[in-house]
Amino acid sequence: TSPLPVTKRRRRRQRYYAPQGLNSLSLLLLCIFLSGCHCVDVTSQEADNVINSDNNDKTKLTTEVTLDVASAEMARRLIKRMKEVKDSLEKKKNDDDDDDSDDVGRKSWDTLIKVMDHLASSSSSEQTADKETNNNNDTTATIQNIHHHHLTQNEARKRALYWLSHQDTYEQKEVGTGFLHRYALAVIYFSLEGDSWNRCSSASHSGTGSIKANDCPTDNERYLSSASHRLWDGVNGNRDDTITWLDLSNRNVYSEQFLPLELTLLTPTLELLWVSENPDLSGTLPEYMGEFQKLESLNVHKTSVGGTLPDSLYTLRKLSSLRLYKSKFSGSISSNIGNMGRLKWLWIHENEFTGVVPEEIGKLKKLEGVTLHGNNFVPIVKEEVQEVEKRVQELTHEELEKRIQELKEELAMRKGEEVMVQKKEEAHTPKEDKTLRRKLTDVDEKKDSTLEGLNH
């Protein structure tokens, strides 16, 4: 992947760090003392629920945006590309026995394909050329009339298809996943009320009507610009236009269903997903989060996202940072968290979690920081505290014994080197004197350093 630009990587320095000398178990014990202490399963069988979601949400605008011929054709091309990419990924998975995603299917792709197929088949593609022209005008008028309202996911899809087929001027080859990612970002933009964001909204809407123009370093960084979507604000990716970084933090986004299903199109390459500091972002983490097997950082803190954590989240073995604090998550933390061996930062304070803190957290060897306070975890009793302290002492003693043995072996090797140098010194010539003295000094310094470590 291409390196991230410095301007996009710069974040505030985080404040939670583990004190030096604390291992994972002692860190867990410390955090427990300080604390006092509806996920959506998207499968292929639920495609109908996704299709009919507009009708089930009475708070949404019910205006129907009919697809014209060009938009319906764009939908069919996207479906074809989805199937090709999905087949390619499955073939690669079967050829590679070590693929991390072997045990995770892509049911969400099947669901999305069915949703898109329904959208295309119910369009006005069978109309005559005259009707097509009228529909194009009606669609444009409808889109202009509803861009201030909260859109359902189906309406967002239709707007994205219309933009991609009629307004987008970016020249790209419709191959691979890059083409799908541009469509996915467009759906995300419309479904999260992109026109009302506090920065880098689409230039075609900023400053028009009641929408204020917002700041953006360059026009290329605005969403829906004619530039590559890799240049859009908070987005970064590879040269083939696939996305590895999506940062939607602190944008004044609005959504009652977390992110749209099109997010799953980013699963092959996405490594970072940040949607934090958006209080109007609600919903639950979808079950298909487990398909993001390359994901390394997930930030959903300071939002209204809640519900229980999906079981598939614990299958993300590359995840090193999970920040969910100051949101509305509930339920218990699964013992499967012990499978997340690369986890370094676990910040889940000030939520509504319940149950017992799983001891598997203490077995995460790379864990450097964890916050648990402000939840409803079951308090740990005195006997359990004593058991944890005993395990910490045993673990520390075992580690010390191992380190002492290593230092003793290293000291013996240094002494052997010293004897060899001294024997050579007895038979040295004046020309070799300076070299031998330097070697002997080096050996002495290394031996002193080893002795110092052994004494410590």
pLDDT tens-digit map of 378-421:
887 667 667 766 766 666 667 767 777 777 777 777 777 766 76
Q: Over pLDDT 90: what percentage of the chain?
A: 45
Mean pLDDT of all residues in 345-350? 95
Q: Angle at the Cα of 389 (from 386 to 393), degrees rounded to 5? A: 140
Residue 274 is encoded by which pair of tokens?
A: 């940040």
pLDDT tens, position by position, 279-315: 999 999 999 999 999 999 999 999 999 999 999 999 9
The number of angstroms, rounded, from the C-alpha of 14 to the middle of its chain's C-alpha atoms is: 17
Model pLDDT, residue 289: 94
Least confident of 36-40, 242-246, 361-365: 36-40
Mean pLDDT of all residues in 19-23? 49
Model pLDDT, residue 61: 35
Q: In what order do the strands lie in the sheet with 306-307?
A: 306-307, 328-331, 352-355, 376-377
Q: Angle at the Cα of 169 (from 166 to 173), degrees rounded to 5? A: 105
Q: What band does 6 get if pLDDT is binned at 50, 70 and 90?
A: very low
pLDDT tens, position by position, 93-135: 776 655 444 444 578 999 999 999 988 887 644 444 444 444 4
Model pLDDT, residue 148: 39
Instruction: Judge whether 265 and 112 are in contact, CB under 8 Å.
Output: yes
CA-to-CA distance for 115 and 51, rounded, in angstroms? 6
Model pLDDT, residue 37: 44
Instruction: Judge whether 233 and 216 are in contact, CB under 8 Å.
Output: yes
DSSP 8-state assignment for residue 165:
I
Place of tokens 């944008």: 251
* pTM over the 0.85 mark: no
Residue 433 is encoded by which pair of tokens?
A: 């004197």
Q: Say whether 236 sits in a helix, a strand or coil.
A: strand
Model pLDDT, residue 456: 57
- Judged against a pLDDT cut of 50, whether residue 193 lies above it is answered with yes
Model pLDDT, residue 423: 67
Of 439, 412, 445, nearest in space to 423 by CA: 439
Residue 193 is encoded by which pair of tokens?
A: 């009320």
**Average pLDDT taken over every residue of the chain:** 76
Residue 120 is encoded by which pair of tokens?
A: 């295309």
Model pLDDT, residue 121: 85
Model pLDDT, residue 406: 78
CA-to-CA distance for 77 and 168, rounded, in angstroms? 15
Model pLDDT, residue 246: 97
- Judged against a pLDDT cut of 90, whether residue 229 lies above it is answered with yes
Q: Determine how β-strand 376-377 pairs with β-strand 272-274.
A: unpaired
What percent helix, strand, coil does the chain show, rounded to 5? 50, 10, 40
- Judged against a pLDDT cut of 60, whether residue 225 lies above it is answered with yes
More confident residue, 6 or 267: 267
- Judged against a pLDDT cut of 70, whether residue 9 lies above it is answered with no
Least confident of 91-100, 140-149, 441-450: 140-149
Mean pLDDT of all residues in 217-229? 94
- Judged against a pLDDT cut of 70, whether residue 445 lies above it is answered with no
Q: Which segment, 58-67, 131-140, 250-259, 324-333, is predicted with the most confidence on average?
A: 324-333
